[in-house]
Structure 1
Amino acid sequence: MKEKDSIHELVEGIARQARQAALQTAMLTSEQKNRALNTLADLIEQNEVMLMTENARDLATARALELPTPMIERLTFTSERIKSMADEVREVAALPDPVGEEIERTLRPNGLDIRKVRVPIGVIGIIYESRPNVTIDCAVLCLKSGNACILRGGKEAIHSNMALAELISQTLKKCELPEHAVQIIPTTDRYALNELLKLNEYVHCIIPRGGEGLIRFITDNSRIPVIKHYDGICSVYVDKDADPEMAVSVTVNAKTQRVSVCNAAENLFIHKDAAPALLPKIAAALRKKDVELRVEEKAAAILKDTGIPTVPATEEDFRTEYLDTIISIKVVDTLEEAVADINQYGSGHSEAIITDSEAAAKAFFAGVDSSTIYHNASTRFTDGNEFGLGAEIGISTDRLHARGPMGLRELCTYKYQVHGTGQCRGA
C-alpha cells in the first residue's frame, strides 16, 4: 500500500508541476521556443555515444525477453536515426509558431471585433511503447505549441527514454524555460499509468501511441479526453484503369518500404478487369521482397499456374495489422465493393487508389471513411514530417478535434478574443 501511495504522490506531483508550467509555456515567445529546440538538437548530436550506450541496455533486455522483431526494430538507435532525430527537431524549430494564429475574425454590427485565436491545449500526457524517438517528437511538438507534457514510455525503452529526458531537462535549464514543461514518469510500474489517467484536474488530453491493447486500456480507464488510433490496417486498391507500372511500384512501396509501421499496407484489393494481367506482376514483385501472399479464391485462381506461392486467406486476415512481410489480397468486382471492404475491414487510417480515372478517384475519396486517402501514391506518406508538419505526435483516427497526422496546430485549441469600444448589452 505504501508503494502505491508513493507512486500516487509522484505522479500527482508531476501533473501539478506540469499544470503550472503550462501556464508559463503558453506565454513563451517564438524566439524562446526555437532557441530551446535548436539547443536540444545540438545536445542530441553531441551525446550520440551516451544515447547508443543506454539504448544498448534496452536492446539487450528486449532480446533476452524475445520481444517481436518489429518491436526491436522500432526500439533500435543507429547513428542515422540519432542524426534524424536532431534534424527533425530543427525542422520543428523552423516551422511557423501556431500559437496566436488568427483562425477567424468577425466584426459584429455593434462594433465588437471577435477573433478566434489558436492557443495551447495545456497539459498533454503521452503514453507510448517501444520507439524512444517518440520522447523527442512529443517533447518538441508540445514545447513549440506552448504546451507542457508528461511522457510515459514503455519499460522496454526505459534507459533510452530517460537518457533523452535528461537532454531535454538540460535544454530547459540552459535556455531558462519552465523546468517542468517536459517531464517523464520515471517508473515502469503500471500503477503509475492508472494514476495519471485519473488526473483530469491537471491534465487536459491523453495521446496513446502503441498497440491495440494499450490504447483500449487507456480509453477504458481515462477520465481525460483521449485522441487515439487503434490499428493501422491500411489498404491499396488497384482499379481497372490503373497504370500497370504504378500499380506495382506503389503497392510494393506501401507494403515493404518499412513493414513495422502503422501506415504500411496490409491489404490489397484489385479490380477483376485488371487482375488477370496485373495481379501476377504485383504478386511477383512482392515475393521478391519475401512477402507472404494470403489470397482469397479469385486471386488464388489467377495465381494458380504462375508458380508464385500463396496461402489461403481467411476473413480475419483482412482485419489483421501484420506489421510484417505479409499481405492479404482480394479480387473485387467493382470499385464500390473495394470501398465497402475497406470500410468493413480497415481501421480508418490510410488507403490508396491506383487509377487514371478521376471519376473513380473522386468516388473512392468520397466513399472511404478513413483519415487519409491517396490517389496514385503510397500510404507510407501518412507521416507528420512527410506532410510538412514536422515530427508528428501521432496519427489520429478519431473524428473530433484532430484526424490524421497530428502536428503543431493539432496540439492547439482556440479561444475567442473580443475587442470592444465600451459596448454594453441591452435587454
Structure 2
Amino acid sequence: MNNEQQGKYDFIDALRGFAILVVIVHHAMRAVALHGAMGMEGLMSPWLQTYWADGARGVQLFFVISALTLCLSAAKRSTGQSQWTDFAIRRVFRIAPMFYVAFVFYCLWPLVRGKLGADVPSISNIIATLTFVNGWYPASITSHVLVPAGWSVGVEMSFYAVFPALFIAACTLRRSLVALCISLVLAVVANQVLLSHVVIDSRTDLETFAFFWLPNQLPVFIVGFVLYHLLFGPQSAKKVDWLRQHPAYLQAAKVTVLVVAPLMPFLHIPGIPSHLEYAGFIALVVTLLRFKKPAVLVNRLVCFVGKVSYSAYLVHFAVLAHVTSSLNVRHLNERLSANEYWLVLSILAVAGTIAIATITHRLIEEPGQRLGKRLSDALAAKRAAALARQNAVSKDIAIG
C-alpha cells in the first residue's frame, strides 16, 4: 500500500475524525441535558444521554492515536540529541499557534470588551494556561478554565515532555507492556495520594482534576506505545504476518468489537475506570483497522475531518454557543422536543465547526507548522555548520 510505504495511515486520520465528531455530539448533549441550552426545561431520553455521555471518551481516542503517531514519527527520524530538540520544536508549533488564537478568542477578547463577567482570570492562571502547565493545577482545568477543554491540551503537552524518555525506555513490545503496568499502578497511587492529602475548596473539582491529570491518563497514552510495537514497529513484522496467517483471531476480534460496541456505555467492569475500558476497546479497533479498512469507517470525508480535528476541538464550543443562540432566537427551543433540539444542534454544530476548522487549519495551523519546520531546519543547518568547522579544525591540527 503506497500510503503505508510513505508512513501515512489513512485510518489514523479517520479515527481522529470520529473522535472529534463524537466529542462535538457529546457536548451538544451536555448543552441540552445539563446546561439548559434550550432556555427552558427539556429532558432528553435517558438512553440518549447514557450513550452520548461516553462521547467524552473521544478524548482518550485522541490520546491513544497521539502516542501511536508520535512513535511512528520518532522511529523515522534520526537518532541523537538533536532529534528531541526538533521534536520539542515541532510539537510546540503544532499545538501553540491555534491554542493561543483560541485563548485570545475565549479569554482576552471578552475581557477587552468587558463581557467576561466578574470572574477575571488571575495572572497566574493566564501564565499556567499559556505555558501549558495548567494540567497540574486543579482550578486551571476545572472551575477557572480559560480555554474550553484546555485541560486535554495541557495533558497532551505534559505527555510530550515525557515522551522522549518513554520512547527510549519502552523500546520493545515487552517493555511497553511493562510500562503500561507501571503506569496503571502509578495512576492508582497518585490519585490516592492526591485525594487523600490535597485540600481545595471544592471536593468535586479535586475529583475532576484527579480524572484529568497526566498520571491518570498516562496508561491511555501508553496503549499507543503497545499498539506501535505490536503492529507498526521494527519488530512487528512477524506478529503482523502471524495475524494475517491466522485470520480466525482477527475475525474473533471483529465479532467482539461489533458485539461490545453498542454495550460500551453500559459496560462498567468493577475496579476499572471507564477511560481505561475505552482504551482497551480502542486498541482492538486500531488492530482491526491495521488489516482491513472498511469504506464506511475510512473514507475521504472522515479522514479530512480528522486532519482538521485539532482546530475543530478548539472552536466547537464557540460554534455550539452560536448555534444555540440562533435556534432560540427562532423559537425552535419552544417547538422542538429535547431530543429533536439536540439532533438539530449536533448537525449544525458539526457542519459549522468543520467549516471554520478548515479555515483555521489552513490559516493558523499549517503556517505554524511550517514556521516550526523552518526553525528546526535552521537549527539543523547551524549544527551542521558547527560540526563542519569542528572537523576542519581537527583536520588542521592533525596535519600540523
Q: TM-score, normalised by structure 1?
A: 0.26
Higher strand share: 1
Q: TM-score, normalised by structure 2?
A: 0.27
Q: With CA pairs under 8 Å and 6+ residues apart, which has the higher RCO, 1 or 2?
A: 2
